[in-house]
Amino acid sequence: MIALMQRALRAAFMSAEALFNRAFGDRLNPLYHLGAITFFLFWVVGVTGLVLYAFFDTSVTGAYNSVEAITHGLWGAGGVVRTVHRHASDALVLTMLIHAVRYFAFDRLRGFRWFSWVTGVVLIWLAYVAGVNGYMLPWDRLAQYVTQGSFEWLDWIPGFGGTLIRNFILPEHVSNRLFSLLVFIHIGVPLVMLLLMWVHVQRVPKAATQPPRPIALALMITLLVLALVTPVASQGPADLNTAPALLALDWFLLTLFPLMDTWPLGAVWGLVGGATLLLLALPWLPPRRGNKQAHHVTLHPGPARISARAGETLLEAGLRAGLKLPYDCRAGGCGLCLCTVLNGRVDPGPFQAAALTAAMQARGQALMCCAVALEDVELEVEGVASLAASEATELRRLQGRVTAMERISPDLMRLFVALPGNEKLAFVAGQYINIILEDGAKRAFSFANPPADPGQPPSTAGDVIELHVRLIPGGRFTTHVFEGMKVGDTLDFEGPLGRFTLHDSERPILFLAGATGFAPIKSILEDAFRKGVSRPMELYWGVRTAGDLYLLDTIERWQREHANFRFVPVLSEAGDDASWTGRRGYVHEALLADHPDLSGYEVYACGSVRMVEAAVPDFLAHGLGEQFCFSDAFTPTAVPKAAPDETAAPGPAT
């Protein structure tokens, strides 16, 4: 029964996450940041609560009037603060519950995760205690109802015998000292909750406690809009001589109170106690006798050797060991934590098909944030040069200035970005950088220029990066490049990233480029020419029409100057163009027509996912060894209304 519920909930979450990825992008998908959003809402509740407490009269006679003065004073600002405090409290409970349900759906509560799950259940209890207690303080009719209902419910517990509710039967029974105790509880419980929240995340490596800035900003704007549209108001002063007849309830925090009016109090206790015990026991239900031993994981480059606990994802194990691994969403949506399993078996876990395609799985690739080792495994992490935390500075965040823009064709821009001062960026030919947009989203573009020549005297100017940017209809960054960018603008980026680099061997090299997949291959070729690589090298470049080929004078110069280099352009949509006398069709088929036996070659393929997924299996079927096939694919990032966006991580792209 539990497994059936988990499968149904997991399918619902995966569908919702895919929808949100299309709407907001994987980096700003709120379902990937529920824990961090809860932390943020806690701080909103805390700050607004402190502001309200500064003006709150803690006496029973002055509480209602002080709340009214806050609500209607300061030109309405006090009412906004009160409403934000109320709505943020509701949102906090909602995100906590969704967060818990999501972890239950993905079965992330067993084994070593039991501690975080159990502390999370206690946190839910504390959130409700603090929230219900907060409704007692305005001392209006709703506060009267909540207070009397709460203490009458507590009085059911053997030992109290009605002693609690007697303090709230008549007005003269409610003393200032008793009311101050309620205020103390409302301050003390959140402090205990904050401490437990810190404990809760201690066993989660690299746990995020703050959401991305755009999400935090959107939450604050939403809370402020709600405060203006649905302001909170008191419901008349409390009168213990009469019973409230009509009240507006908060269904997020006061869900149990209608049950207290209609059910026997013992039944309500049974429901709450039973549900709590069931939640606490879920990490062990149903009991499982599977293999609980840890597995050894070897990661490249390095190699680094770590231990993965039963049920622990490869990413969690690596982060716990202090490795510098690439990741973002931690939920199988962004694809940054891509790896290739070299030996051993893994359970790939649940992931978004857009982040890990069937062809990628067939090549042995997996997402570390989802994959769990089933035995000792060996894998290679994509997109990093080192896993050592001590070398974390290798991935740098920099700002460059656009120094030149060359529009090669109507939809292709050659962009030159200079680093400030004498700043240098060491990279390997074939790597890429992530352009960082204003909202933190990333767009990956390959270096189109070779690394600096170490044999030349160092320049006193900053390094210059060459990028090839193709206009993608609806693409945020590429549209800006073509319509808004100008020389002198600045770009934030991080890098270098990627392992699509030339490997040392004696084998002849075949390069396969699709469209602007030419950029990293240009970088590799120019670096190889400078180093005097003598191996035979052939470049097969596939584009739609002859107008999509660019820098042909550069390629012709390569052919004149280097006898070991050959260039073969291929058009897939030449049609009836009689002026084109070259090859037609799919570029990988042209390569196979010239080289039907690939057993002695190295192949480097860079282009769209469709091109790479079509080419690689055919290459392997024609004798190419998997260890000699190196590929990178770029994928357009989805944007709202199904419009394609520019290429973004995962994978080096252009």
H helix runs in 367-465, sequence order: none
Is the pLDDT at 391 greater than 50, yes or no? no
3-state secondary structure of 556: helix
Average pLDDT over residues 624-631: 88
- CA angle, corner 238, sides to 233 and 239, nearest 5? 145
The full 3-state SS of 205-241, as one line of letters, equals CCCCCCCCHHHHHHHHHHHHHHHHHCCCCCCCECCCC
Residue 52: phi, psi to the nearest 5?
Answer: -65, -40
Residues in the chain: 654
**How many Å apart are CA 438 and CA 489, to the nearest integer?**
13
Q: CATH says 295-381 is which class?
A: alpha beta
The pair of three-digit structure tokens given for residue 358, joined into one six-digit string: 């069937």
How confident is the model over 299-354, as pLDDT tens digits? Answer: 988 778 899 999 999 999 999 988 988 888 899 998 889 999 999 999 999 999 88
Is the pLDDT at 438 greater than 80, yes or no? yes
Looking at the chain, the whole-number percentage of residues with pLDDT higher than 90 is 65
How confident is the model over 402-431, as pLDDT tens digits? Answer: 999 999 988 999 999 999 887 888 888 998
Residue at 99: amino acid letter: H
**How many Å apart are CA 316 and CA 334, to the nearest integer?**
16
Is the pLDDT at 224 greater than 70, yes or no? yes
Q: Where are the domains of the chain?
A: 2-13+29-240, 295-381, 396-497, 509-648
Is the pLDDT at 647 greater than 50, yes or no? no
How confident is the model over 239-269, as pLDDT tens digits? Answer: 998 888 889 999 999 999 999 999 999 999 9
Average pLDDT over residues 88-96: 97
Burial code (b: 16+ CB inside 10 Å, e: under 16) for 487-496 equals eeeebebebb
Q: CATH says 396-497 is which class?
A: mainly beta
| Per-chain mean pLDDT for the chain | 89
* 2-13+29-240 matches 295-381 in fold: no
pLDDT at 640: 37
pLDDT at 389: 58
Is the pLDDT at 386 greater than 80, yes or no? no
Cβ atoms of 601 and 619 closer than 8 Å: no
Least confident range of 49-53, 73-77, 215-219, 270-274 = 73-77
pLDDT at 378: 92
pLDDT at 461: 57
In Å, what is the CA distance from 92 to each residue of 85, 87, 642? Answer: 10, 9, 32
Is the pLDDT at 532 greater than 50, yes or no? yes
Residue 580: phi, psi to the nearest 5?
Answer: -90, 115
Average pLDDT over residues 115-123: 96
Of 467, 458, 522, 525, which is closest to residue 493 (Cα–Cα)? 467
Of 363, 374, 317, 311, which is closest to residue 341 (Cα–Cα)? 363
Is the pLDDT at 392 greater than 50, yes or no? no
* Res. 652 pLDDT band, cuts 50 70 90: very low
Is the pLDDT at 556 greater than 90, yes or no? yes
Is the pLDDT at 85 greater than 60, yes or no? yes
Residue corresponding to tokens 């209902």: 149
Q: Please list, in sequence order, all residues whose beta carbon lies within 8 angstroms of the beta carbon of residue 579, skipping any fewer than 6 positions away.
A: 546
pLDDT at 439: 77
More confident residue, 180 or 637: 180
**Beta bridge partner(s), residue 366:** 339
Is the pLDDT at 627 greater than 60, yes or no? yes
Average pLDDT over residues 58-64: 92
Is the pLDDT at 385 greater than 70, yes or no? no
Give the full edge-to-edge strand order of the sheet including 490-497. Answer: 442-446, 432-436, 490-497, 396-409, 412-418, 464-470
Residue at 262: amino acid letter: T
Q: For residue 30, is it left (φ>0), alpha (ψ between -120 and 50) or beta?
A: alpha
* Res. 457 pLDDT band, cuts 50 70 90: low
Average pLDDT over residues 473-484: 91
- CA angle, corner 620, sides to 617 and 625, nearest 5? 145
Residue corresponding to tokens 């291959």: 521
3-state secondary structure of 635: strand
**How many Å apart are CA 449 and CA 248, to the nearest integer?**
66
pLDDT at 399: 92
Residue 73: phi, psi to the nearest 5?
Answer: -95, 180
Is the pLDDT at 551 greater than 90, yes or no? yes
- CA angle, corner 192, sides to 187 and 194, nearest 5? 95
pLDDT at 404: 95
* CATH number listed for the domain at residues 2-13+29-240: 1.20.810.10
H helix runs in 585-640, sequence order: 587-594, 609-621
Is the pLDDT at 592 greater than 90, yes or no? yes
* Res. 194 pLDDT band, cuts 50 70 90: very high
More confident residue, 45 or 380: 45
**How many Å apart are CA 32 and CA 368, to the nearest integer?**
16
Is the pLDDT at 578 greater than 60, yes or no? yes
pLDDT at 420: 87
* CATH number listed for the domain at residues 509-648: 3.40.50.80
Q: Work out whether strand 490-497 and strand 602-608 pair parallel, antiparallel, or are unpaired.
A: unpaired
Q: Which helix (H) or strand (E) holds 646?
A: strand 644-648
- pTM score of the predicted model: 0.72
Residue at 293: amino acid letter: Q
Average pLDDT over residues 137-151: 95
In Å, what is the CA distance from 32 to each residue of 29, 538, 563? Answer: 6, 44, 53
Q: Please list, in sequence order, all residues whose beta carbon lies within 8 angstroms of the beta carbon of residue 167, skipping any fewer than 6 positions away.
A: 151, 173, 174, 178
pLDDT at 463: 84
DSSP character at residue 451 = P
**How many Å apart are CA 131 and CA 124, to the nearest integer?**
11
